[in-house]
Amino acid sequence: MSDFDFTSYQKEKRAAERKVDIPICANPERRKECENNTKLWFTTYLPHAFPKEFGEPHDIMIERSDNAIKTGGRSAVAEPRGYGKSTTLKARSLKALMAGEKKYCALIGADAKASDKNVKGMILWILGSDLMKEDYPEIWYPISASADGKAYPTAQRAKTLLTGQTKFYYDDDGEKVPVDDDWIPSEFDIEVDDGKPIYLDFKSQPAVLYFPWYPKARCSGAVLFSVGITGGIRGENRHLPDGSIIRPDLVLIDDPQTRESAHSIVQTKARLEIIEEDIAGLAGQGEELSMLCACTVVAKNDLADRLLDRKENPDWRGEKTAMLESFPKHMDNAHESEVNWEEWNKVRIEGLNEDDDGVLAATYYIDNQEILEEGAITTWDGIKKAKHPSPLYSAMELYFKNPKGFYSEYQNDPQDENDSSQKLDRETVLNALNGLEINEVQEGYNVQSVAIDLNDYALSWGFCATKNDMTTNIPNYGQFPAGSKNVWDSDMGISREEAFTNALTDFITRTHSQYPHAYIGVDGNWQTDVVHQVVKQMNRMGIKCFVMRGKGSTQYREKKKNDKRLIGAVRNHCQFVKGVKGNEIEFDSHYWHKTTQNAFRIKSPAPGSLSVYGKDKKKHQEFADHCVADRLLAHFVKDGKVYYDWFKPPHEHNDIFDAVSMAQVLANLNGCDFVEAGQYVRQTRPRRRRKKVAKNFN
């Protein structure tokens, strides 16, 4: 009877098949030199990912990412499309894991599909690099064995792998050669007994690569994890065979927004909160988390734009790079040059129609190269296409194919067609002083209006004098009562309603006495019943007074001409209507905030400009603060209507600005209008008819 044990034979055979022989590091000196030089590591181990020479933008990006990884800091970069920002930061993250700088890297993309693609792409980098095979054998060989000829590792095979021979190297013929007896292992060689589990694992959807685990090895147990930014991110960790637990210490956020989310105020806010609250807390208490972000600015105030804003998010140390640091001087014939880029584009299009493969355009450029290149600065020579004569030529072809897309995709400066500068600053407001005396109204400023904004601490008001073309002077503004006394507080011994009735009655009576020709509007969104009662009382006294109800752009709806609730005609985002409690002026407060802020940017006395009395900027500091408190984060168009997203820090006040904005609405409702090219300016009703207008309005 035979002593052969078939069961034991099969077991030993399967164990042998699961063993992975791992040679020693072929070139420790090269590996060490590369790990100390990120750019060299890229070109040595990933030459196919970096086929072109690096430029200054890449040097800055590499320096910033190196610093963030070493110090536990943050770095956000926006590079032109094609500059390789994602490739560069993914390669830097891979180096951090393989060199033992970091243990747990979370790759976070716009969605789960994009994140999975990133992890799988980095696995292909490893398996496709011959020099990684030589210098990082402890990583390359187990991953290759688990893939078993396939593109990616398989979880079933990865989990079963065991260590085989380790103290050998391959000669030029591919034969195994044992190390000498006096061999001294390098700092990169692993020391592990034969037949030990490797603990390699790979999962998909979401893609996770658990690196092999060896005692004392630099990259031992590292994790490369992927997830979409809106997926489950909290609580990520890995239990290692030695009983320790590791959490993410490196995050790469790669293009965290889709085109849809970039134009969505709600989605942008939600993703920013995920980054600052969920992702930033991945490392756990007391642990450092390095965060890298590669992004493209798709729209003004999108997620990328806000992360890169050093005032809003200084910790990210945002860095924007444009393909053109400066445009050519001769873009058109503005400098009276017959040679310019507009003419070049005409030649280019003519050549396209003749199927000349770009010959006419290239010839025009070469013949006039000195003039066409004047003033232009490109940021990277790598943008040059093989058939083009220069990098600038390639850039300008991209520009003329799609100017709007060029500013977004290649300049990281998307152009806002409706509002080229959304953020009003204090200096712009203070520069709008017109030198007039307080309460001085110049000839031609026929419509006067006063609006009042309500708060417990004050009635904030603004007095405006406006011309037919909406050119406006603010002869006075302020708060009532003056000083530290509030309109109402709990110690007064009277109700809030009574306090506001008294304050409004007193103030409106005084205002009418001082500005007898002014229309007076009162904010009715708060203390609505009180406001309606006071306004009705003022109207009975012959004072032209109105209840005003501002609504956000999502709530404001213009009435149709045949709507019985509409009184008169609809004006610019404002209308006089019959309300439940009485007649009211409804207006789109978001639109009028934007319009009023923009008016400060127009130099007085140009049509539509807004200026303030006085010469001394120091006297208007608080007024300027009120005017800039509201920040326009973004706006978008849906179904032909513009919607706005405003933000005001809770500690800042905008009450006087609100009053000025409402006074502008009153002027528009009473005949003043903005001038556009070829537009007829409707004349203001003669003053003798105002009493009749007021009667109709109320």
What is the distance between the alpha carbons of residues 531 and 579, in angstroms, rounded to a whole number?
A: 13
Q: What is the mean pLDDT of residues 18-40?
A: 95
Tell me the domains of the chain and their CATH numbers. 28-137+199-320 (3.40.50), 324-409 (no CATH), 426-697 (3.30.420.240)
Q: What is the mean pLDDT of residues 64-89?
A: 94
Strand 208-210, strand 223-228: pairing: antiparallel
DSSP 272-306: HHIIIIIGGGTT-TT---EEEEEE---STTSHHHH
Kind and range of the H or E element at 13?
helix 6-18
Q: What is the pLDDT of residue 5?
A: 56
- Give per-residue pLDDT as tens, 397-456: 999 888 888 988 899 988 654 444 457 899 999 999 999 999 999 999 999 999 999 998
Partners of residue 637 on adjacent β-strands: 642
Cβ atoms of residues 575 and 546 within 8 Å:
no
Q: What is the mean pLDDT of residues 534-548?
A: 96
Total-model pTM: 0.61
Task: Identify which has the larger pLDDT, 677 or 297.
Answer: 297
From 182-196, 242-256, 673-687, the region with the lowest mean pLDDT: 673-687
Task: Identify which has the larger pLDDT, 157 or 483.
Answer: 157
What is the distance between the alpha carbons of residues 405 and 400, in angstroms, rounded to a whole number?
A: 10
Range list of H helices, 515-641: 528-540, 589-601, 621-628
For 497-525, give one letter per residue: b (16+ CB within 10 A) or e. eebbbebbeebbeebbeebeebbbbbbbe
From 299-308, 343-352, 480-489, 548-557, the region with the lowest mean pLDDT: 480-489
Whether residue 1 has pLDDT greater than 70? no
- Give per-residue pLDDT as tens, 214-259: 887 888 899 998 888 877 777 788 888 888 889 999 999 998 888 8
Q: What is the pLDDT of residue 344?
A: 94
| Per-residue tokens: 61 | 């990006």
What is the distance between the alpha carbons of residues 225 and 115, in angstroms, rounded to a whole number?
A: 9
Whether residue 2 has pLDDT greater than 70? no
Cβ atoms of residues 628 and 426 within 8 Å:
yes
Residue 191's pLDDT band, with cuts at 50, 70 and 90, is: confident
Q: What is the mean pLDDT of residues 87-103?
A: 96
| Per-residue tokens: 684 | 């203001």
Distance of CA 29 to the CA centre of its chain: 43
> What percent of the chain shows pLDDT beyond 70?
91
Q: Which of 563, 531, 376 is nearest to 452 (CA)?
A: 531
Residue 29's pLDDT band, with cuts at 50, 70 and 90, is: very high
- Residue in the structure block whose two tokens are 């007076």: 520
| Per-residue tokens: 28 | 């420790």
> What percent of the chain shows pLDDT beyond 90?
63
Q: What is the pLDDT of residue 206?
A: 77
DSSP 8-state code for residue 438: T
- Give per-residue pLDDT as tens, 595-617: 999 999 999 998 999 999 999 99
Q: What is the pLDDT of residue 643?
A: 81
Q: What is the pLDDT of residue 698?
A: 31
Radius of gyration, CA atoms only, the chain: 35
| Per-residue tokens: 358 | 């770009």
Amino acid at 109: G
From 84-98, 469-483, 683-697, the region with the lowest mean pLDDT: 683-697
Residue 159's pLDDT band, with cuts at 50, 70 and 90, is: confident
- Give per-residue pLDDT as tens, 104-151: 999 998 777 766 788 889 999 999 999 999 999 999 999 999 987 777
Strand 19-20, strand 162-163: pairing: parallel
Q: What is the pLDDT of residue 645?
A: 77
Distance of CA 75 to the CA centre of its chain: 14
How does the average pLDDT of the chain come out, rounded? Answer: 88
Distance of CA 650 to the CA centre of its chain: 21
What is the distance between the alpha carbons of residues 624 and 429, in angstroms, rounded to a whole number?
A: 6
